[in-house]
Amino acid sequence: MTARLRKLCILSLLAVPAACTSTDVLEPSAIATDNAGSPAGTTPSSQPSIGDSNGATAAIPNVKRLQFAPIIGTPVEAAVPLSERLTLRARERGFTIAGSGDSQSLVLKGYFSALPEGKETTVVYVWDVLDSTGNRLHRIQGQQTAKGGAGWDSVPAGTMQIIADQTIDQLGIWLGRSSG
C-alpha cells in the first residue's frame, strides 16, 4: 500500500465518526482556574464545567459507569481480546460496565481499520466518547503496528490488548483519574 493510499484510508476512518450528533469536544485542560487552583467560579467540591462561545456550559462527566457500543471494522477474532481487555482495564480504573440504555454512563464507540504495508499492519483506531443521548464529548485516537502485512489476519491478540490499555488510560486521563 502506498503512503498516499494509507493517508487516504486514515483520513477516511477519521472522517466517518465525525458525523456524530455533536462536534464540540470537551477538554478538561480548557477549564480556567482561579488562584486557588479550583475551576473559576466553583468551590473545590463542585463539578467543573466548560463554557462555549454562546455562554452555555457543559459539565465534564463524573461517571463511574461505561458502556461499549458495537465496535466497527474489526473481525470477531480481533474484537474478542479487545473487548475482554477493555472490560478488565475499565474495572481496574474503577468503572462499572453498564448495559445498553443506562442513562448514567458514558458510551465508547470504536472505529477500527487494519492497513497492511510491507511486512507490517497498522491498526488505526478512533473512539468517540458519547453521553447517554449520543452527543460526542471526547475523541480518543491512535494506532498500533503489528508484524505481518496480511491485514487483520496478522494482528495478534496482544496488539488489541495494548490498544485497549491505551484507550482506557486515555479515557482516565481525560476524566482526571490517576493511572491504575
Residues above pLDDT 90, as percent of the chain: 54
Pick from 74, 83, 84, 85: nearest CA to 125: 74
pLDDT for res 64: 81
- 49 vs 73, more confident: 73
Q: Find the mean pLDDT for residues 113-142.
A: 96
Q: Report the distance separating Cα 165 and Cα 24, nearest Å.
A: 25
Q: What counts of helices (H) and strands (E) characterise the chain? A: 3, 7
The 10 Å CB-count burial string (b at 16+, else e) for 140-153 is bbeebebeebeebe
Domain boundaries, the chain: 3-26+63-175
Tens of pLDDT along 94-120? 999 998 878 889 999 999 999 999 999
Q: Is the pTM of this model over 0.75?
A: no
The alpha carbons of the chain give a radius of gyration, in whole angstroms, of: 18
Tens of pLDDT along 72-98? 999 999 999 999 999 999 999 999 999
CATH pick for 3-26+63-175 out of 1.10.10, 3.40.50, 1.20.58, 3.30.160: 3.30.160
pLDDT for res 102: 81
- Residue 71 CB-half CA count within 13 A: 22
